Amino acid sequence: MKPENIEKINHSFEIQAPNFESKSVNFTKEEYLNYTISCVAPCKENTLLEIAAGTCACGRSFAPLVQTVVCLDATVPMLQIGQQEADKEDLSNMVFVKGYAEELPFLDNSFDIVFSRLAFHHFTDVTAAFSEMVRVLKPGGKLVMIDMEAADELLRKTEDEIETQRDPSHVKNLSKAEMLSLYEKHGLAIEKCETTEMPQRLENWLALTRTPDLIREKIRQRMQADVTGNDKTGFSPYLKNNDIFFNQKWVLTIGKKGI
């Protein structure tokens, strides 16, 4: 089952692929990734599946600590970069698969850890994707999800509107309650759920997606208006060294599948 927005996803991430691991954005921030790995606590016998893996930065970090890592993504250029980087790091226990989160090409109960980072806001059917992740997770296994928390209810629509202007493959951010509900409805026991604020520089955020100049300027104006106390965007932007920044709220949730 192809996602409804697959063409937008492929177009967006083909553009992002060359600079997706740039140190100018925090999407691959090493400190947070290392912390996440410590929370997951993988062991050498584990098999791990990374969903919507992108350039597989997370999968590559897990690879030395587990038996096998499978990275699945819908966009081939992202996977190609992931494989190139894995080859550079001599990681021979990684497998790269083109596929969709909503229809995983794996048997039931196949993986000890199923991992997804910053992907659910691109899914048109989050329940289908989550159900598939649970299906392929072994009993007693861990399902790990990291994604951006939605703005307060009154500003959610505005925030998603700006996100979609910047990246048309964006669908919507989930609230923390909606994330927890996915775990609870699928019978997973919550082991951890916490929020970390991740600073983002507006210009770097816009540059990653190569947002067209006219749209960039409109977003800048809306952010600037928010900074000066006018219409709110849901991003709560602020000035730092004369640049506009905002803090994304990343929610890390770890749930365990019953035996």
CATH C-level class of 6-152+169-199+248-256:
alpha beta
Are 52 and 74 spatial neighbours (Cβ–Cβ below 8 Å)?
A: yes
DSSP labels, 199-225? EEEHHHHHHHTT--HHHHHHHHHHHHH
pLDDT at 14: 53
Q: Which of 243, 3, 244 is nearest to 119 (CA)?
A: 3
pLDDT of 216-238, one tens digit each? Answer: 999 999 999 999 999 999 999 99
CA 229 to chain centre: 30
Q: Mean pLDDT across the stretch 121-147?
A: 97
Whether 85 shows a pLDDT value over 50: the answer reads yes
pLDDT at 30: 84
pLDDT at 72: 98
Q: Mean pLDDT across the stretch 102-130?
A: 97
Whether 2 shows a pLDDT value over 90: the answer reads no
pLDDT at 21: 54
pLDDT at 12: 52
C-alpha 167/C-alpha 216 separation (Å) is 11
Whether 247 shows a pLDDT value over 60: the answer reads yes
